[in-house]
Every structure is written in C-alpha cells, then in structure tokens.
C-alpha cells in the first residue's frame, strides 16, 4: 500500500480524466452514424437544452489527437471515454447492420491512447440510446428486447476492442437515465407525466421499468464477458453509479436519520443491491412502491449471480441533507418521501457553493460515502467522475476561467478524502477520473456550465489548459510517492 500517512495513495493508483461521446464527439452524421435519443431531444422545439446540441460539440471526432496531446501534457495515466452505440450499430438492434467506419474510429482512438502510454477505460453506454430502438419498441421501456440488443452491442465491442481494452464500464448512471429520462423528463427521451413540456410518459411507473431493463442489460453484458471473453482477454468490468451522500437534517431525530438512509437506498441501493449483491431491491423501495416495482424472476436472479463484476464505479459530486416527510408519498415520488436540502436544521450548509445550483463541495461527506459503499458492497472503488464548475464560471472570459482556484481546491479536498478513506476507513479505492477533460455539452444545461480542466472556446473550438489540469498531476504524484 506504500506510505500510510493520512494523505497517501497506493503506488499503483490509477488516475486520469473522463468524457462522454455525445458531449464531445460531434460529427453527428459522419461515417454512417445513426441518431441517438439525444440527437432528437436536442433538436426539439421549444428547446429543452438551452438551444444547444451535439452536432459539433467539441469536434473531438476530428481533434482527438490534439485532445490526447492534452492528456499527455497533463500526465494522465488513464482516460475514460464512452462509445456511441449508434456510431457502431446505427439502428442499434441485434440484427441491424454494423458500421465499420464507426468501429474504425474507435480503433484509432484506442490505438492512439496506447501509443501514448495511456490506459483506455471504455464505457459502453453513456445515455445515448440509438433512436432506432426507441422508435422500434420504446427502447428501455421494453425489458426483454432492450437487454438482448444491449448484449449484442456489448459482445461486438468486446470482440472488436477487447484485445486492447482491459477496463470496461457497462452503463453510466442508470439512476439518471431512469429518473431524468422517464420521471422528470429533463433528459432524453424526455418522458414524464409531471413535466409540462413532455407530451408522453408515466412518472409513476416508467422509471422503475427502465431501471429493471438497465440492471438486466448490464447483467447480460457482464455475464457474456465472464463466459466468453474474460479468460482470453484478461480484462475487468464494472458499472458507474451516481449517488449523493445524505446526512440527516436533524441529526438528533431518528426519523431524519432513517430518511437519509432511505434516500440513499432509492438513489444507490436500487441498482447496487441487484448488481453487487444479487439481492432484491431495498425493502424501503418495496414499502413505498409496491407492485409498481417490477420483480425479478428466479432466472433473472440467476443471471445476476452470473454477472459478477470487478469494481464499483462511483460518480460523486456533492452531498445533501435529508429531512423526513410526515405526509404519505405521491405516486410520482422517486426519492423515498424525503426533502432534500442544502442546509441542516441549524442552518449549516453541506458545503461551499460551486458554479451550479445543485453542487456544493462536501469532501467530509464524500469520505463517509466511500466508506459506506466499500463496506456495504465489498468491491474496489474507482471514482469514475468527480469535478465541479467554479462559481460564476459560465460568465467568465477565457483568462478568468483558466485561473480556476475553486476547482483546484475542490479536487485537492476530495483527493484528500480518498486518502483518508483508504488509510483510516480501510476502504479499497483504486482510481480516480476527473470530470471532465474538456468543457463540453452539459446535457440539458447546454454549453453554459463548464466542468472541464480545459477551456473550450465554442466559436473557434480552441482548447486552453486551466490551472487545475496540471495541478492534478502534482497532487497525485505527491500522494502516490508519499511526499504529501
């Protein structure tokens, strides 16, 4: 483990930066790429994404060598990126045509990274379902069809890239896919019965159906890897789950302590219990949702047991307070009948405000989160996303944005929390990916919010490193060499 000081990290700790295909690639119609649900969502009128779309984005498709040069400049050991399903199988289905142009593009990316000594970490699905599957059978709303098509897509990726890619993530943030896509409707495909801009959807039922589809799709991909690829390719596979840590609003009130735990079960246990423990959904979810929560059959539990993963991918940004509610939950409630607050009963903030309303820097709660997740699910943790925008950064000039002292402090505090969770809480944490390599399309927030360690000029597409990009290198090198 190396040094056991409070700020140390293992000598083999893996670190780098993360991106997602739709947010940076652009080239939306190049090489036979099919539409994804985000292509459709971004072009709805009136706009649901502040007028932004991914048609060009950061033009990473044509500029990846420049971007990988930044990775080398920043000292990154690893790089996490996602594949666009519809760039590889334009219509998405298991009997649909494959795009060799799309496969060639990702081969070039992988080979370029390896030539630079940078380890690729590949996410199979980062929210961009082929529109063809949504049109054909409702996409994730069809539990049986979607998992079969996802398995075929995953197998194709293992076959074509697995000789060089040794680190796989099946899905990114299934909670966001399910809730933002099918409950609130603020993300693609925008289905909701409580969002006035949505014309289709049922918030009371659809998110839970989609959640089951995602769990079983993940399981089929992992089971396929374990059975047919692991022995010859020697890689590892996991999933990236998001989830805040929740503190009780009133720490002396047992009802608020229960509310905090219940909120984390709705946020994390929903997916983590079936995936990491091959167990049913949390009891708190059944108590509230009843028959609306689709059950697993015995054969599906058998599949979950076959789909043993190697690591827990954690996307963490912030924490909150949870306060119990005295009234019964609505059928549209998806948080566990709690109020989510940024200040507790005494008026204490969960953390320092950032450049986006939902994110406050809360490294002490992050440490608790790491310890809780590791000791509950007993898999090595990789932080697959962590980062922030600086206060006011959406209105800053390039020179102002580059001087990102808030982001540097955020990274340093959260990396210290990782060190403490390892050395003092006995958690196994093996890697960290900062979000994000580039300022990019932040989904429904458009191009205003900037999470990157590299400033992107969206008019010229010029990239400018921010101070945080090189600061991370010194942070990690110092801790991994026991100098801090």
Residue among 145, 151, 265, 385 flagged as catalytic: 385
Q: Are 178 and 293 in contact (CB under 8 A)?
A: no
Q: Are 53 and 29 in contact (CB under 8 A)?
A: no
Integer-rounded Cα radius of gyration of the chain: 21
User: DSSP assignment, residue 267?
Assistant: I
For strands 119-125 and 167-172, give the pairing: parallel
Helix, strand, coil % over all residues of the chain, rounded to 5:
45, 15, 40
Nearest to 241 by CA among 211, 272, 265, 262: 272
Rounded to 5 degrees, what angle do the CA atoms 470, 473, 476 make?
150
Known catalytic residue: 173?
yes
Distance CA 170, CA 429 (A): 19
Helix (H, G, I), strand (E, B), or coil: what is residue 419? Answer: helix
Helix (H, G, I), strand (E, B), or coil: what is residue 110? Answer: helix
The CA dihedral of 274, 279, 284, 286, to the nearest 10 degrees, is: 90
Nearest to 139 by CA among 189, 187, 95, 173: 189
Q: Are 188 and 197 in contact (CB under 8 A)?
A: no
Nearest to 64 by CA among 30, 89, 90, 35: 30
Helix (H, G, I), strand (E, B), or coil: what is residue 32? Answer: helix
Residue among 173, 265, 393, 442 flagged as catalytic: 173
**Extended strands (E) in 69-182:** 78-82, 119-125, 167-172
330 burial type by CB count under 10 A (0-12 exposed, 13-18 middle, 19+ buried): exposed
Work out the number of other CB atoms within 10 angstroms of the CB of residue 392: 12
Q: What is the DSSP string of 9-23?
A: --TT-EEEEE--HHH
- Cα separations in angstroms, 21 against 50, 80, 81, 160, 469: 20, 10, 7, 18, 21
Distance CA 70, CA 414 (A): 23
- Give me the active site residues, please: 173, 385
């Amino acid at each position: 483990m190396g040094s056991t000081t409070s700020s140390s990290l293992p000598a083999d700790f893996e670190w780098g930066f993360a991106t997602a295909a739709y947010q940076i690639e652009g080239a939306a119609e190049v090489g036979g790429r099919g539409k994804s649900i985000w292509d459709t969502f971004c072009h709805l009128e009136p706009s649901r994404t502040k007028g932004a779309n991914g048609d060009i984005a950061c033009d990473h498709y044509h500029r990846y060598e420049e971007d990988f040069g930044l990775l080398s400049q920043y000292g990154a050991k690893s790089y996490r990126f996602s594949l666009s399903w519809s760039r590889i199988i334009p219509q998405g289905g298991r009997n649909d045509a494959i795009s060799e142009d799309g496969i060639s593009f990702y081969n070039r990316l992988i080979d370029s990274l390896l030539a630079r000594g940078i380890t690729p970490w590949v996410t199979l699905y980062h929210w961009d379902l082929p529109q063809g599957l949504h049109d054909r059978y409702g996409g994730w709303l069809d539990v049986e069809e979607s998992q079969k098509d996802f398995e075929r897509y995953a197998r194709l990726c293992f076959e074509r890239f697995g000789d060089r890619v040794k680190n796989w993530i099946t899905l990114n943030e299934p909670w966001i896919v399910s809730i933002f896509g099918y409950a609130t409707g603020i993300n693609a495909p925008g289905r909701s019965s409580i969002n006035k801009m949505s014309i289709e959807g049922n918030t009371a039922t659809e998110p839970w159906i989609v959640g089951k589809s995602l769990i079983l799709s993940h399981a089929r991909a992992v089971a396929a890897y374990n059975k047919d690829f692991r022995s010859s390719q020697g890689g590892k596979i996991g999933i990236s789950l998001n989830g805040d840590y929740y503190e009780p609003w009133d720490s002396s009130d047992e009802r608020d302590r229960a509310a905090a735990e219940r909120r984390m079960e709705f946020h994390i246990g929903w997916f983590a219990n079936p995936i990491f423990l091959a167990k049913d959904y949390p009891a708190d979810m059944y108590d509230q949702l009843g028959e609306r929560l689709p059950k697993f059959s015995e054969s599906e539990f058998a599949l979950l047991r076959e789909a043993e993963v190697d690591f827990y991918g954690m996307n963490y940004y912030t924490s909150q307070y949870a306060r119990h509610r005295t009234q019964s939950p609505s059928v549209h409630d998806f948080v566990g009948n709690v109020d989510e607050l940024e200040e507790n009963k005494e008026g204490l903030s969960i953390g320092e405000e950032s450049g986006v309303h939902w994110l406050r820097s809360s490294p002490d709660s992050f440490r608790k989160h790491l310890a809780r997740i590791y000791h509950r699910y007993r898999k090595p943790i990789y932080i697959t996303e962590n980062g922030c925008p600086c206060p006011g950064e959406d209105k800053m000039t390039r020179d102002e944005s580059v001087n990102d002292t808030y982001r540097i402090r955020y990274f340093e505090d959260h990396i210290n929390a990782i060190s403490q969770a390892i050395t003092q809480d006995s958690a196994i944490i093996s890697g960290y990916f900062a979000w994000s390599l580039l300022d990019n399309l932040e989904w429904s927030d458009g191009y205003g919010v900037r999470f990157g360690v590299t400033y992107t000029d969206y008019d010229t597409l010029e990239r400018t490193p921010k101070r945080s990009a090189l600061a991370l290198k010194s942070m990690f090198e110092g801790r991994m060499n026991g100098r801090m």
